């Protein structure tokens, strides 16, 4: 038991509701729009950014405000998900996303099971379905799934009764990355206006915000989720890339397309750089990384053309010297490490909303119990 009185308050306020009985429960494993800011949103899964409407995104960001306070404490742990089990099922490489989800689950006192394709029976030919059903039989409340195939997390949601979070599927989507990016933009804007991020900060800063999403849009699940989130919140996104890296269809994206980074830079509030996905064959779409860099890399000379207060973002891992120059990655206006730091709090919020149950405190109550300004 902690002797920290603040932690005791947090403990009291965020004690978990009893774990839901395992087995068929809740609605069918499809995710629907979520938008009830006044209560803990009844999220079943988070498979796509399209699962959240504007109120639903705002709600996740407000819960993140509260849980972000926990992360900054000397003992960054609350018992909100004690008794719940989260499995991180990563069938594709990851550094930050896996560690971020696992840290988030542990900071909420959940038990964490780690599955790694490289050291599992998947190597012996076990199918994804058998793997998932085997893990589910051990009693798991949530699957965090990364997979090279688009749609794999949606399939997992059909096979198990547990909650499922998409941690990146093929070229398709990466919704928690988009949420942490939105959180980071909102935080930076609030700070620039001298406001402390707390539950009084809404999502107004996205209205008319101009964002350039630059690079390998074709192969980027990050771009897909981010564009959906930005549009939902009222921002204006422009994708900037060579013609060969424009996705086969942009129908429904609602973005402008531009092939001239220099023309776009002075006009935008955020320049969001994407990694060249060489493992997905991007190399064959480009003459060379060097030529790409000459046209689309954010060099120091280019960064100097950004408007004052403009943000530079990248989901990582960065190819320094290709899509982003070394010195730009380390500039004050580069929010790359902030994105990583916020990723833990955002994933705490997502797991909390999925798993804490209907009786858990809502964002405002949670904020007040944690002493968040404005709650
Ligand atoms: C991204 C991914 O894996 O989709 N990284 C991440 O999760 N932060 C982007 C990338 O690999 O380029």
Domain boundaries, the chain: 5-173+342-355, 175-338
How many whole angstroms separate alpha carbon 345 and alpha carbon 365?
17
How far apart are alpha carbons 362 and 375 in whole angstroms?
11
- 6-15, 299-308, 336-345: least confidently modelled range: 6-15
Listed range (40-44, 181-185, 323-327) with the worst mean pLDDT: 40-44
Scan for tokens 């046209």, then name that residue. 295
CA distance 170 to 306: 32
What is the CATH number that goes with domain 175-338? 3.40.50.1370
Instruction: Note the CATH number of domain 5-173+342-355.
Output: 3.40.50.1370
Residue 13: per-residue pLDDT:
34
User: In this predicted structure, what is the pLDDT of residue 297?
Assistant: 97
User: Which residue owns the Cα nearest ligand 1 atom 7?
Assistant: 97
Helix, strand or coil for residue 199?
A: coil
Q: Measured from the CA of 174, which atom of ligand 1 is nearest?
A: 4
Estimate the crossing angle of helix 96-107 against helix 54-71, to 10 degrees.
Answer: 70
Q: What is the pLDDT of residues 9-41, one digit of tens each?
A: 233 333 433 333 333 333 333 343 433 444 435
Tell me the per-residue pLDDT of 165-197, one tens digit each, with 9 for 90 and over.
Answer: 999 999 999 999 999 999 999 999 999 988 876
Taking CA atoms, 254 is separated from 224, 228, 234, in Å, by 11, 9, 11
Q: Which residue has the tokens 């002493």?
A: 371
Closest residue by CA, ligand 1 atom 11: 317
User: Which secondary-structure segment (H or E) carries 273?
Assistant: strand 270-273
- At 91 the pLDDT is 93
CB of 85 closer than 6 A to ligand 1?
no
Beta strands in 82-169 (DSSP E): 85-90, 111-116, 142-147, 163-169
Token pair belonging to 141? 């409340």
d(Cα 182, Cα 286) in Å, to the nearest integer? Answer: 30
Residue 168 CA to ligand 1 center (angstroms) comes to 8
Distance (Å) from CA 222 to ligand 1 centroid: 7
**How remote is the CA of residue 317 from the centroid of ligand 1, in Å?**
6
Q: Using the 8-state DSSP alphabet, how is residue 15 labeled?
A: P
In short, whether 343's Cβ falls inside 6 Å of ligand 1 is no
> Residue 301 above 60 pLDDT?
yes
Atom of ligand 1 nearest to the CA of 343: 8
pLDDT over 70 (residue 198): no
Instruction: Please tell me the predicted confidence (pLDDT) of residue 197.
Output: 65
Q: Please check whether residue 339 is in contact with residue 184, taking contact to mean a CB–CB distance below 8 angstroms.
A: yes
Please tell me the least confidently modeled range out of 188-192, 279-283, 297-301, 316-320: 279-283
End-to-end CA, the chain: 27
Q: What is the CA radius of gyration of the chain?
A: 20
């Amino acid at each position: 038991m902690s002797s920290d009185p603040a932690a005791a308050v947090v403990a009291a306020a965020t004690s978990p509701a009893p774990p839901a009985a395992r087995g068929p429960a809740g609605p069918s494993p499809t995710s629907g729009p979520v938008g009830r800011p006044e209560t803990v949103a009844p999220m079943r899964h988070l498979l796509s950014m399209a699962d959240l409407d504007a109120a639903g995104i705002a709600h996740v960001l407000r819960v993140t405000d509260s849980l972000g306070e926990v992360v900054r404490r000397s003992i960054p742990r609350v018992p909100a998900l004690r008794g719940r089990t989260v499995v991180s099922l990563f069938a594709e490489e990851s550094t930050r996303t896996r560690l971020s989800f696992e840290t988030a689950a542990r900071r909420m006192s959940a038990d964490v099971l780690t599955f790694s394709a490289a050291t599992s029976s998947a190597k012996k030919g076990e199918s994804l379905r058998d793997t998932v059903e085997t893990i589910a039989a051990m009693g798991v409340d949530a699957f965090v799934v990364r997979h090279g195939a688009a749609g794999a997390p949606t399939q997992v949601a059909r096979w198990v009764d547990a909650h499922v979070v998409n941690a990146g599927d093929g070229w398709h989507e990466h919704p928690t990355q988009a949420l942490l990016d939105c959180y980071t933009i909102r935080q930076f804007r609030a700070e620039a206006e001298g406001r402390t991020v707390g539950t009084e900060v809404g999502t107004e800063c996205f209205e008319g915000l101009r964002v350039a999403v630059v690079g390998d849009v074709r192969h980027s699940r990050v771009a897909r989720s981010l564009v959906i989130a930005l549009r939902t919140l009222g921002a204006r996104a422009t994708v900037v890339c060579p013609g060969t890296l424009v996705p086969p269809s942009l129908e429904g994206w609602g973005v402008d397309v531009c092939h001239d980074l220099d023309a776009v830079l002075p006009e935008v509030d955020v320049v969001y750089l994407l990694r060249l996905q060489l493992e997905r064959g991007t190399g064959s779409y480009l003459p060379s990384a060097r030529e790409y860099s000459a046209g689309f890399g954010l060099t120091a000379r280019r960064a100097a053309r950004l408007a004052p207060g403009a943000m530079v973002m990248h989901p990582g891992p960065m190819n320094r010297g290709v899509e982003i120059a070394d010195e730009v990655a380390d500039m004050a206006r580069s929010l790359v490490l902030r994105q990583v730091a916020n990723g833990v709090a955002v994933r705490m919020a997502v797991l909390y909303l999925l798993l804490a149950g209907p009786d858990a405190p809502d964002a405002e109550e949670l904020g007040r119990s944690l002493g968040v300004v404005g709650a």
